[in-house]
Amino acid sequence: MKIKMKNWPLSIQIWVVFATITLGISLMLAIILPLTLRDFFTNEIYVTIESAQTLMFNQYDIRSIKDLLESQGPEKSRQTLENIRTVNHFIIYDDHQIIVSSSLSINFLNEVKNQALTQEKNSQRYNGKVGDEKIFYVITKGKALNQDAFLVSYMWDSYREDLVQTLFRKLLMIMFLVFIFSWIPAILLSKYLSRPLVRLEKRVEKLADNQWEEPVELDRGDEIGKLGESIEQLRNQLIYQEEMQQSFLQHISHELKTPVMVIRSFSQAIRDGIYPKGDLDCSVKIIDEEAERLEKRIRNLLYITKLDYLNTHNIPYEDFSMDKLIKDVIERLSWNRTDIDWQLNLQPIDINGDLEQWRIVIENLLDNQLRYAKNSILISLNPKDENKVMLKFWNDGPNIEPETLDSLFTKFNKGYKGEFGLGLAIVHRIVTLHGGKIWAKNEEEGVSFYVEIRIK
């Protein structure tokens, strides 16, 4: 079964990342470093050979030798003397005589002699092979015993390989130690990152258990801090929702209990032969009105639940005439207030949306206007731009309380003279589902509701 790294502890994940990076760098160095070091030490070998030749030519000039070493510094001059001891020399005179103190093959010596005699530069670098071993050497023209001669100084490749292998082993050891001890910074980093995450995890668990009294506080400005701020916002929203739901449950228990109580009391009275409203028809009418109120409340509760469902599902829209819909709703509801002066300014405008949902919007808004209006209601529908229209409802009733105005469209808010606290919440939800906006404004006289509607 394949184990995904995301299921591992954070410290293990961070260490694996550290170790992978270190291992990758080590493999790259294992390939690149030997090549680079060989080139570097090859050049260093030639520099060492040339330094040895300089000392050979100036072996009787102590001042020249001293100046050369002092110019390199104490540590470098010591290393230079050690390296120079590994340099070997032999001399080729102009008469082709070779003076050599070490055993070199005749073929190699003849090859070097030919190179020296044909050499145009005063000093030149060479490399070759003696048997199976590589050799580096420099041929320099000069004087030896007052005769023209060529000083040949050389070093074996084993010296370079020893340097490369020694340095490479040290680097591998360092990489190995870094690979092993990367666990320490991984643990420290994981603790630094996981400590606030563990705190957030515990706070979220408490939120899941409805324990949201303790605030979420992280003194950080990074992504973890922003996550903490988001959880704190969620906590505040949950507290607000809890308070509003408690308030709503209190209202709903009262609003549902009242019509049920009236219906039961009137029914029992009629059964006992008593007519609370004087006669049977008037008493039954009260029962019917209370049943209608109860039905309306239950319908609103069911509908706002339905809107929560529609918010997550695509509902097919259709084109319909908004001005005709408004006139149709007014025609059905206007009989409730025959004293109202209706002022209509409705431009013929078609919109795209759910016809039944917009019917509920108009009905709820008109119901609100009829409840608060004194004598007049104005309704206008006009284009705002090529993509939007503005629908306005105005009535000459009292202004909305400032503390109510900001929360007028919340789900569990019930304002002055409000029947149930869900009508405007349903309106707001439907308008939002259709990509529109709605707000209320206190005018110098009366109150206006503005609905911004997208045409398409």
The single-letter code of the amino acid at 304 is: I
The length of the chain is: 456
**What is the predicted pLDDT for the residue at 52?**
82
**What is the predicted pLDDT for the residue at 64?**
40
Q: In this structure, are residues 427 and 364 in contact, taking their beta carbons and an 8 Å threshold?
A: yes
CATH 1.10.3470 is held by the domain 5-181? no
Give the distance, in angstroms, between the CA of residue 333 and the centroid of all CA atoms in the same chain: 53
Q: In this structure, are residues 430 and 361 in contact, taking their beta carbons and an 8 Å threshold?
A: yes
Architecture of domain 223-309: Orthogonal Bundle (1.10)
**What is the predicted pLDDT for the residue at 36?**
74
Tell me what the pLDDT averaged over the chain comes to. Answer: 78
- pTM of the complete model beyond 0.95: no
At the topology level, CATH places domain 315-454 in Heat Shock Protein 90 (3.30.565)
Long-range contacts at 54-58 (CB < 8 A, ≥ 24 apart): 55/84, 56/89, 56/151, 56/153, 57/140, 57/142, 57/151
The ranges of the chain with pLDDT < 70 are 1-6, 10-11, 57-85, 94-103, 144-146, 159-160, 247-252, 254-255, 304-306, 308-315, 411-421
Domain boundaries, the chain: 5-181, 223-309, 315-454
In order of 276, 278, 332, the CA distances from 285 in angstroms are 11, 12, 21
